[in-house]
Structure 1
Amino acid sequence: MNIEHTNSAMHTMNTNDEEDTLCAFLKLIDKELMPDYKNIKIRENTHERLKSHGNMGESFDDLINRILDDWEEQKEMEGHTE
């Protein structure tokens, strides 16, 4: 992250105190690090099952997309064989 960009963005937020500055900074970081993410609730056993299928360094988003891609590919192959 570019510090000049961060400082500039923080000054334009019209913050009044240290807490507002921190909140503005955290919002800026959140937008740059986690764009368009959603939180989902899953059961502990589902979380463990997902973890067991993941590869080293693979995010849950990557894992879920890989599983969905495999599932969609399988469904497509089943449709072509009928």
Structure 2
Amino acid sequence: MTRIYPRATLKKILKAHLPENQFSNNVDIMLYLDYIHFLQSLAEEANLEANSKKAKIIRKEHIDSVLENTLKRFDG
């Protein structure tokens, strides 16, 4: 099975920020899935914003206008 993301790299980053291995074995998978879910939600909201303004493509302005609300939904 092919890997979707570099799991070892993500684990090294987590170990650098969390002392003494304060996380479970699969926390990197959960963080990756949460990240993907956030990006999907952001893209969907930006698409709705672009459609409401009758734009054919999603622009930076559309993403910026929905970013704060999306971050709040994800406690960011």
TM-score range, shorter chain: 0.3 to 0.5
Which structure carries more relative contact order (alpha carbon 8 Å, separation 6+)?
Answer: 2
Give the alignment's TM-score, normalised by structure 2.
Answer: 0.37
Q: Larger C-alpha radius of gyration, 1 or 2? A: 1
